[in-house]
Homo-oligomer: A and B are copies of this chain.
Amino acid sequence: MVKALVIGATGYAGVELVRLLSRHRRVQLVGVTSQSHVDKPLSFVYPHLSGHVSLICKEQEMLDKISEADVVFVALPHGYSAPVVRKALDSGIKVIDLGADFRFDEADSYEEWYGEQHKEPELLAISVYGLPEVNRSKIKEAQLIANPGCYPTSTLLGLAPLVRERMVDLNSIVIDSKSGISGAGRKLTLATHFAESNENVSAYNVARHRHTPEIEQELAKLAGEKVKVTFTPHLIPMTRGILSTIYASLTEATNSDKLREIYLDYYRHEPFIRILPEEQWPHTKWVYGSNYCDLNLRVDHRTNRVIVVSAIDNLVKGAAGQAVQNMNLMFGFPETEGLEVVPVFP
């Protein structure tokens, strides 16, 4: 049994980790921390866990127990994970960080987009971007995983086959993402107040969202050259799910069937990627509560563009589920362990 700690367990990504880990047959959850609910039972803060989790939320400072763990999941706002990560690594503990801090190859990108100095820039050299479908072999060897952002996950899985095969004009990529409101976290804001967000849809951070450089960095690695994308996130009135609609100009004449073959081949061994039948477009509810990424695409012959649509549960494949998948790889467990749940529909 691997002993796991969850740092920041009362945010939505943290508590989803707890949900998944509590049913994982090879993991023992040995501790959870929370700054806002110290000394409360986690199942009091989140009553859905009642009967499954009896842990008490501890202060983050009580990380002395860190050396008892085999793996630490860090689910803190960006800028807060550095000391925890450092401490865990120094103790020889594997770390999976769900925040943005260790996703960048260069501290500069982080500092430009997040507006603050990186606290542990040397660790960037050893961190591995935890997208298993692209980086599986590196993940297996990693000590520090930077778990991808939710929008980048939905985008990169949608684009990887096309970009690696250089089927699309790298300057033509437009990503239009629609996210459920849990993606904004549990922090109270007017934008996530029910009466303001229900029966409503809007774009936000247009041309300025922090996931943009993360998408570009990883696409560039796939392409072997620089990529610039336009990315627009939207909030829609549902709790879970991200649907990304991705547009790109094709560099050569092709058709939907050929591209589907490329996708089917590229993802043929992937347990969590489902290429849907031709006439079925991804629906976020079809992946609800699961680690799947559903994909489909079509060539628009009139404009010579391809449209790819991807659907994930932002809290699972876009956060906690992918973190567990990464852990499975790091510890040599079956990759799907603890993640075989069937999506909840309707």
In the complex the two chains form, is A236's CB within 8 Å of B237's CB?
yes
- Is the beta-carbon distance between A192 and B194 smaller than 8 angstroms? yes
Q: Provide the A203-219 mask, 1 if CB < 8 A to any CB of B, else 0.
A: 11011000010000000
- Is the pair A181, B202 in contact by a Cβ cutoff of 8 Å? no
Which of B19, B47, B228 interacts with A302 by CB under 8 Å? B228
How many residues of chain A get a CB closer than 8 Å to chain B's CBs?
Answer: 89
**Contacts of A233-252 to chain B: CB distance below 8 A:** 234, 236-241, 243, 245, 247
A128 at the B interface (CB under 8 A): no
Find chain B residues with CB under 8 A from A299 CB. Answer: 207
**Given known A182-B346, A190-B188, contact A303–B229 (CB-CB < 8 A):** yes
Binary interface encoding of chain A residues 247-274 relative to chain B, with 1 for a CB under 8 A from any of its CBs, else 0:
1000000000000000000000001001
* A188 B193 Cβ-Cβ under 8 A: yes
The reply on A106 being an interface residue by CB < 8 A is no
Which residues of chain B are near A230, meaning CB under 8 Å? 247, 300, 302-303, 305, 307
Quick check: is A298 within 8 A (CB to CB) of the other chain?
yes
- Return the contact of A237 from the options B171, B198, B342 (Cβ within 8 A): B198
Residue pair A23, B200 in contact (C-beta under 8 Å): no
Q: Is A49 an interface residue (CB 8 A)?
A: yes
Q: Which residue of B lies closest to A346 (CB)?
A: B195
Contacts of A186 in B (CB 8 A): 190, 193, 195-196
| Least CB separation from A285: chain B residue | B200
| CB contact between A234 and one of B49, B243, B247 (< 8 Å): that residue | B243
CB within 8 Å for A241 and B201 given contacts A193-B194, A247-B174, A307-B232: yes
Q: Quick check: A48 and B298 within 8 Å, CB to CB? A: no
Within 8 Å of chain B (Cβ to Cβ): is A115? Answer: no
Complex Cα spacing A203 to B283, Å: 8
Residue numbers in B under 8 Å from A52 (CB-CB) = 342
Is B188's CB under 8 angstroms from A189's CB?
yes
Complex Cα distance A19/B346, Å? Answer: 11
Q: Are A199 and B305 neighbours in the complex by a CB distance under 8 Å?
A: no
Q: If the complex has contacts A23-B341, A230-B300, are A199 and B241 also in contact, measured as CB distance less than 8 A? A: yes
A-B contact pairs, 28 of them (CB 8 A): A12-B346, A19-B345, A23-B341, A47-B280, A47-B283, A48-B288, A51-B271, A171-B303, A174-B247, A174-B305, A182-B346, A188-B193, A193-B194, A198-B237, A199-B241, A199-B285, A200-B238, A202-B281, A203-B309, A206-B281, A206-B309, A228-B302, A229-B303, A230-B247, A230-B307, A232-B247, A247-B247, A289-B344
